[in-house]
Structure formats: C-alpha cells, structure tokens
C-alpha cells in the first residue's frame, strides 16, 4: 500500500451506522466527500456527548479522530451526502439552497445523525466556499451545548477542529469544522423545495420519512381527521410553539429565522448571528445584516408562525384541503401563549393556576425591565435569590427608578404568599440560569482560540453545560457585559 492511499483509508470509530436519509434516494441529496484541511488541530469537544455516543472521551486526543472529524479521512460505515432544500430568506422566496458546507454522515447510536459543517464544497455551495470559520464554529459549538444545558431543544455539537488554512470573509480568518448532531436535520425548506417544483411524489416520500421516524402518532386514525399530513403540520407547529416560548423566556434571539433554518423537529438550528439579550430590549435586532429588523427579538413568535404558513403551503398538495391546513396551523397560537405564560410563571416561582393577575404581573415586570434597560439574565437570577432571602435589594438596585419595582414587588409578594417561599426560590434557581453565552464571552474565547489558547472555550463550556449551578470559581462569567459588548457587530457572515 502506498502512503497516499493510506490517507484515504477509512477510520473505524467503533460506531454502528444506519443511513435512513441516504435510503430516500438521490432526488434528495448528492453524495459528496469531505475535502481535507491541512494540519488540523483540536479546538473543543463535549465529553458528555462523546460518552453518550459511545466514543471514548479520551480518544479525542488521538490523531485518528482528529483526521476523521476534520473530514480528512472517511469514517467506516458513513455515506457522506449533501441534502437539497430551498427556502424563504428574509420574507422572499430564495429558490434552491441546500447543504452548501454541511455533510450528513449518517445516523448512529441513539438515532442521532452526524453532520460535518465546514467540510468543503458541495453542489449546493452556490457562491460560497464550503468552509466555516473558527469564530462561527466556536459560537455554534458553545451555543448548542448552552441550549442543551438550558433544556431548550437544539442540535448538539460534538467537537470543533481547526486548521490554519485561510478563509476569506470581511477579513482573512481560518477554517474550522464543527461536528453537529440531531435526530434529523430536515428543515421546513426541504418540503418547500419539492413542493415548489410540483414533485409531489418526493414530497410525500419526505413527509412519510419524517412521520415514520419522528412523528409516528400522526399515522393513527384519530390524528387530525385521519389526515397524517395535516397531523404532521399541527405537530410541527406545536413543537415550534414550545421552542419559541423557551427562546422568548430565556431571552434568546436567533437572528436568521429563514424557513431553511427552521427544524421540523422544533430544534434550534443553524447558529449564526444569535444573541442572548444583555439588557431587556424587546425590539432588539442581533443580526447586523437585518437592517429591517425582521428578526427582532419580539417578532420571533410571529415569524415562526409565518414560517409555519410556508410549511403549510408546501404540504398542501398532500393535505389536499386548505381548510384542514389552516385548522392545523391554528393551535400554534394557543400553545405558544400557554407555554410562554407557563415559562414566565416558572421564572417567577409561580406554578399551578395562572389567570389575569398573574399575567399582569409578568407583563408589568417586563415593561419595567424594558423601561430601565435592565440586564435580563442577572435580573432573574437576583430575583430568585431575593425570594429566598425575602429582601429584594439586589434586584431593586438594577432599576434606575426603583419606585415602579417597589410597587410591583409588593404585588408579587402578595401573590407568592400562597406558595412555599423555599420551594419557589428553589424552582426559580432552576428556571433562571446564572450563565448564558453572552456575545462578549464568546468573543473573548474566540480571541484566545485564534492564539491557540482553547482554555477559555472549555471554561465557558463547563459553566454552560450546567448553567443553573453556582460555579463560584467562575463568577466573573456571570457578570454584567462590559461597555465594549454593545459595539460587537455580528452579521450573517460565518
Ligand atoms: P445560512 O445563512 O448559514 O443558513 O446559509 C444559507 C445557505 O447558504 C445554505 O444553503 C448554506 O449551506 C449556504 N452557505 C452559507 N455559507 C456557506 C459557505 N461558506 N459555503 C457554501 N455554502 C454556504
Ligand atoms: Mg442555514
């Protein structure tokens, strides 16, 4: 065997692979091999996720897995492919998009699919280079695991490898490959793709695939007037409503809610210019390229509904009756409202009954936070401690004009009188995280990573994996953002 063929020998990671997406047929994807990157190095990995997959967490030190997860050597049992999808971007039909830089390897333990993001050109790369930069890969890696730590549905991230190969964005950056996982990477845009081309057979194959593997309950006769495709639309709407309620309650701004970035499993997917709110500003726009503010924080639920409407239109050839499609969309609104109220009540330590008084309590504190530009995450954490100590000083001090807060606190105390204060405080500390991935924290970790110091990425990962714990030794990561954080500009460029 000569040395060059040895470089193409597959590496056996000891995983068992099933490739159900590949079985759908070549209308759905193109087979593509990853393109190697020179002299790769490790940036980060998630030990718990490696363990979950049955990979030896220590094995990440090995050169074999470094080559495998950079895409430099194929992995035994995988069938790399780039899937095709279309979508609406910023409200307009964008036509064909597809995996321009992500390769689906197949499906392994626990039914999780693996993708290499940034592994080179595909037939869907359009004007792009098929690469991802270190900056955006570190952001996606940390935020995926942060969302998981917050119990918010998300694609997961196993590892990031880097290479000094130059990648050209606004400035010259360097390449990285992110390995990400999800039960499925199917997006609303996959359905839109076949529907727009009137390829009803493929549309049905895709819908049947998603139902079989992810929504089997939609097949039963009772589900939505016996129409499995209407039932699917409703189920996707319900999951999206749960997701959006969680985003709004935690203060997460996605930044690019195009239909090709919407998971049919209701997962947070495609981390780009996302941001966790610093000060509570309902109209905050985190994506510097979003000049119209289409994806402002407080517009996200509406946008999700708009995106579901696109999915409904795409599924119409299968659902057949327009009234049924409209009826299947309807529950999104009520589910979202109920879920948001539930999540916000949990932030206040209030369980059980809701009602007008409770709703007013939520609305009023949000209004006070907005008026005072109060830091969202720190406020809720301090409020949790205030309930435990029965002294609101630390939360109160955050308001430029505390009189409004004082009046609210009195009403809140009356409402809490019916609950066990200890239980409420405990529940609040489990609903209001101490740590979120603020822009400036990601930025500092990226700056160090560019200098090959990956310790800040792993330190952040430690707190973000368990964001409700105190981690007193990392208290600085729970601090207010510095002034320069307001000037960080995050665009679509990644
Ligand atoms: P995004 O805005 O990241 O959701 O990407 C939108 C579309 O552009 C998707 O089809 C991506 O695969 C594609 N894309 C984004 N960046 C690149 C890149 N650097 N190379 C190739 N395709 C890309
Ligand atoms: Mg995308």
Local mean pLDDT, 10-residue blocks, the chain (494 residues) = 58 94 98 98 97 88 95 97 98 98 94 98 97 98 98 98 98 98 98 98 98 96 89 98 98 98 98 98 96 97 98 98 97 97 96 83 98 98 94 96 96 90 95 98 98 98 98 98 93 87
Angle (nearest 5°) at CA 434 between 358 and 445: 140
Q: What pLDDT does residue 493 have?
A: 87
99 lines ligand 1 (CB under 6 A): yes
Mutation pick for ligand 1 pocket among 29, 128, 169 (CB with most ligand atoms within 8 Å): 128
- Beta pairing class for 102-108 and 112-117: antiparallel
Mutation pick for ligand 1 pocket among 101, 119, 120, 268 (CB with most ligand atoms within 8 Å): 101
131 lines ligand 1 (CB under 6 A): yes
433 lines ligand 1 (CB under 6 A): no
Burial class of residue 416, CB neighbours in 10 A (0-12, 13-18, 19+): middle
Query: How many angstroms separate the CA atoms of 275 and 117, rounded?
Result: 21
Residue 123 three-state SS: coil
| Closest among 76, 73, 83, 80 to 27, alpha carbons compared | 83
32 lines ligand 1 (CB under 6 A): no
Ligand 1: distance of its center to the CA of 295 in Å?
18
Q: Out of 56, 129, 260, 364, pick the active-site residue.
A: 260
Ligand 1: distance of its center to the CA of 273 in Å?
13
Residue nearest to atom 12 of ligand 1 (CA): 100
Ligand 2: distance of its center to the CA of 91 in Å?
15
Q: What pLDDT does residue 477 have?
A: 98
pTM of the complete model: 0.97
Query: How many angstroms separate the CA atoms of 251 and 194, rounded?
Result: 34
**Which-ligand-closest: CA of 256?**
1
Q: What pLDDT does residue 1 have?
A: 37
257 lines ligand 1 (CB under 6 A): no
Q: Are 311 and 240 in contact (CB under 8 A)?
A: no
**Which-ligand-closest: CA of 494?**
1
Write phi, then psi, for 98 (nearest 5 degrees): 95, 170
| Closest among 400, 416, 448 to 135, alpha carbons compared | 448
Ligand 2: distance of its center to the CA of 308 in Å?
17
| Closest among 270, 110, 260 to 178, alpha carbons compared | 270
Q: Are 270 and 187 in contact (CB under 8 A)?
A: no
323 is catalytic: no
How many angstroms from the chain centroid is the CA of residue 174? Answer: 24
Q: What pLDDT does residue 492 have?
A: 85
**Which-ligand-closest: CA of 100?**
1
Tokens linked to 454: 């990956």
Mutation pick for ligand 1 pocket among 126, 131, 258 (CB with most ligand atoms within 8 Å): 126
**Which-ligand-closest: CA of 132?**
1
Q: What pLDDT does residue 466 have?
A: 98
Q: What angle do helix axes 228-250 and 331-347 make, rounded to 10 degrees?
A: 30
| Closest among 313, 302, 334, 299 to 188, alpha carbons compared | 313
Query: How many angstroms separate the CA atoms of 47 and 51, rounded?
Result: 6
Q: Where are the beta strands (DSSP E) in 22-171?
A: 29-31, 41-45, 81-83, 86-89, 92-96, 102-108, 112-117, 132-133, 156-168
261 lines ligand 1 (CB under 6 A): yes
């Amino acid at each position: 065997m000569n040395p060059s063929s040895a470089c193409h020998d597959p590496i056996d990671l000891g995983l068992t692979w099933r490739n159900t997406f590949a079985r759908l047929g070549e209308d759905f994807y193109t087979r593509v091999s990853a393109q190697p990157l020179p002299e790769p190095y490790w940036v980060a990995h998630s030990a718990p996720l490696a363990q979950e997959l049955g990979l030896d967490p220590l094995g990440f030190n090995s050169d074999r897995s470094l080559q495998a997860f950079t895409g430099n050597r194929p992995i035994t049992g995988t069938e790399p492919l780039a899937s095709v999808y279309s979508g609406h971007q910023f409200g307009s039909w964008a036509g064909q998009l597809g995996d321009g830089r992500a390769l689906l390897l197949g499906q392994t333990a626990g039914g999780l699919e693996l993708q290499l993001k940034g592994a080179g050109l595909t037939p869907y790369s359009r004007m792009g280079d098929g690469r991802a930069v270190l900056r955006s890969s570190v952001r996606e890696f940390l935020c995926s695991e942060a969302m998981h730590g917050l119990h918010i549905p998300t694609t997961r991230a196993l590892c990031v490898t880097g290479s000094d190969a130059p990648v050209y964005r606004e400035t010259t950056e360097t390449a990285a490959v992110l390995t990400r996982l999800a039960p499925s990477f199917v997006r609303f845009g996959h359905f839109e793709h076949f529907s727009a081309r009137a390829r009803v057979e493929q549309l049905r194959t895709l819908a049947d695939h998603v139902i079989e593997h992810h929504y089997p309950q939609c097949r039963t006769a009772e589900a939505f007037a016996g129409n499995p495709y209407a039932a699917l639309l409703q189920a996707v709407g319900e999951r999206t409503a749960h997701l959006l309620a969680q985003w709004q309650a935690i203060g997460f701004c996605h930044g690019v809610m195009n239909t090709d970035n919407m998971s049919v499993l209701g997962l947070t997917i495609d981390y780009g210019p996302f941001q966790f709110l610093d000060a509570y500003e309902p109209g905050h726009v985190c994506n510097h390229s979003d000049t119209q503010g289409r994806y402002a924080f407080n517009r996200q639920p509406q946008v999700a509904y708009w995106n579901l409407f696109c999915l409904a239109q795409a599924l119409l050839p299968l659902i057949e009756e327009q009234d049924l499609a409209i009826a299947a969309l309807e529950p999104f609104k009520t589910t979202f409202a109920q879920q948001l109220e539930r999540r916000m009540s949990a932030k206040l330590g209030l369980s059980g009954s809701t009602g007008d008084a409770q709703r007013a309590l939520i609305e009023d504190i949000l209004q006070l936070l907005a008026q005072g530009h109060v830091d969202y995450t720190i406020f809720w954490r301090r409020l949790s401690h205030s309930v435990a100590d029965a002294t609101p000083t630390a939360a109160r001090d955050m308001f430029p004009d505390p009189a409004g807060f004082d009046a609210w606190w009195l009403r809140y105390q009356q409402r809490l009188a019916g609950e066990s204060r200890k239980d409420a405080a405990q529940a609040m500390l489990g609903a209001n995280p101490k740590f979120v991935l603020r822009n400036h924290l990601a930025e500092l970790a990226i700056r160090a990573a560019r200098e090959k110091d990956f310790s800040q990425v792993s330190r952040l990962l430690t707190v973000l994996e368990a964001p409700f714990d105190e981690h007193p030794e990392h208290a600085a990561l729970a601090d207010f953002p510095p002034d320069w954080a307001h000037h960080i500009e995050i665009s679509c460029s990644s």
